[in-house]
Amino acid sequence: MSEKFSLPLIGGLLAGVATSLCCVAPLILLSLGVSGAWVSNLTALEPYRPIFIAIAIFALVIAYFQLYLPTSKTCCDEDKVCAKPSTQRLYKNLFWGVVAVVIVAIASPYLIAFIYG
């Protein structure tokens, strides 16, 4: 279960971060004092933002189904790590943490516009 679960979770996290590269990354870099003409090149990713959002949602849906609705093929034997309740709880906490990161990444352009008006 851990090998099959981690790939969609990592993919969802990376795609969620990629959705915010066009808007949040330049703001963070400028806030940290990093400047240069290359920072404005990150806005070139704006047209690909819907694709990254779709990939993130798709990966998180797969991770959700593997985590909360396991089939008989994905069930673990009793002696494996994924059969332990503490490991399953850790996976669920990581999943919801990644979901929060993806939601913030998707909403970031609207939040930035609201904050900086």
Domain residue limits at 34: 2-116
**pTM (two decimals):** 0.66
pLDDT in tens, 44-101: 777 888 888 888 888 888 888 888 876 665 556 666 656 677 878 888 888 898 888 8
Instruction: Place 1 in a pLDDT band, splitting at 50, 70 and 90.
Output: very low
SS (H, E, C) the chain: CHHHHHHHHHHHHHHHHHHCCCCHHHHHHHHCCCCCHHHHHHHHHHHHHHHHHHHHHHHHHHHHHHHHCCCCCCCCCCCCHHHCHHHHHHHHHHHHHHHHHHHHHHHHHHHHHHHHC
Domain total of the chain:
1
